[in-house]
Amino acid sequence: MLYNAFMSYSHAADTKLAAAIQSALRRFAKPWYRFRILRIFRDKTNLAASPALWTSIQHALENSEYFLFLASPQSADSTWVQREIDWWPQNRSAAQLIILLTGGRLLWDRSKQDFD
């Protein structure tokens, strides 16, 4: 895998937090002689605007081991975040999806056995 994790978040709500998480994960348990230990895909650092934006995002998703979802009301309303979230369980294990609640509430739907 090219990336250890793909980070999905709302730019409006969590840009600073996403950058801080990415920075912390890169340094986590890093030996002094290595530049970084983990590679985290975050659109602000790994992606340029282009006509093939979804293709680039999908390539990053395909090459990521984990999906980090910064959950907030704003991310729930984001079309791009929704596309990324929809892609993951269709192509990867839900066991590799990590939800980081940054705002609002997570609700469990018992009938669907899934988060709302």
Q: What is the pTM of this model?
A: 0.85
Model pLDDT for residues 15-25, shown as the tens digit of each residue: 999 999 998 88
- Give the type of residue at 23: S
d(CA 4, CA 112): 29
Annotated catalytic residues are 84
Q: What residues does each domain of the chain span?
A: 3-115
d(CA 92, CA 62): 9
Query: Regarding the domain delimited by 3-115, which CATH topology (the fold level of the hierarchy) does it fall under?
Result: Rossmann fold (3.40.50)
Residue 64: HSE in the Cβ half-sphere, 13 Å Cα cutoff: 28
Model pLDDT for residues 44-90, shown as the tens digit of each residue: 765 556 667 888 899 999 999 999 999 999 999 999 999 999 999 99
